[in-house]
């Protein structure tokens, strides 16, 4: 199992576990996430692109995998995702280029699917 599949599997298992334990905090987090990423003045696609740039800056691989996948599902193109990654690189400087390497691996996987 590669790193991307491992992240997806771990996320799914953790989500199931937290929901089975009736975690009120996690349930509220999911509600907040739904509210934050639903279409509003900004469409979901653009919100996901913003989250990609932030994920690169904070070096959250799980976040990069999730938001790149969600952006693609919301209609973002490979070039749009790349530009979001590039904004993250600019904001994060040299350290963010290391995060961007993982984002590129996710992009390759997501846009091949």
Q: For the segment 70-97, what is each residue's pLDDT rounded down to a tens digit?
A: 999 999 999 999 999 999 999 999 889 9
Q: What is the mean pLDDT of residues 36-58?
A: 98
d(CA 106, CA 112) in angstroms, rounded, equals 10
Query: Among 3.50.50.60, 1.10.3230.20, 1.20.1260.10, 1.20.1290.10, what is the CATH number of 3-112?
Result: 1.20.1290.10
pLDDT of 113 strictly over 90: no
Predicted pLDDT at 95: 87
Domain spans of the chain? 3-112
**What's the pLDDT score for residue 63?**
97
Distance, CA of 45 to CA of 55 (rounded, Å): 15
Give residue 31's Cα distance to chain centre: 17
Say yes or no to pLDDT of 2 above 70.
yes
- Predicted structure pTM score: 0.91
Do residues 92 and 99 lie in contact, with contact meaning Cβ atoms separated by under 8 Å? yes
């Amino acid at each position: 199992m590669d790193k991307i599949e491992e992240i997806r599997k771990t996320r799914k298992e953790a989500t199931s576990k937290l929901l089975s334990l009736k975690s009120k905090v996690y349930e509220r987090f999911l509600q907040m996430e739904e509210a934050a990423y639903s279409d509003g003045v900004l469409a979901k696609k653009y919100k996901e692109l913003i989250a990609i740039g932030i994920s690169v800056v904070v070096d959250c691989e799980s976040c990069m995998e999730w938001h790149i996948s969600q952006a693609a599902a919301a209609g973002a193109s490979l070039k749009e995702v790349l530009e979001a990654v590039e904004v993250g690189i600019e904001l994060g400087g040299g350290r963010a280029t290391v995060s961007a390497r993982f984002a590129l691996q996710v992009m390759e996987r997501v846009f091949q699917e």
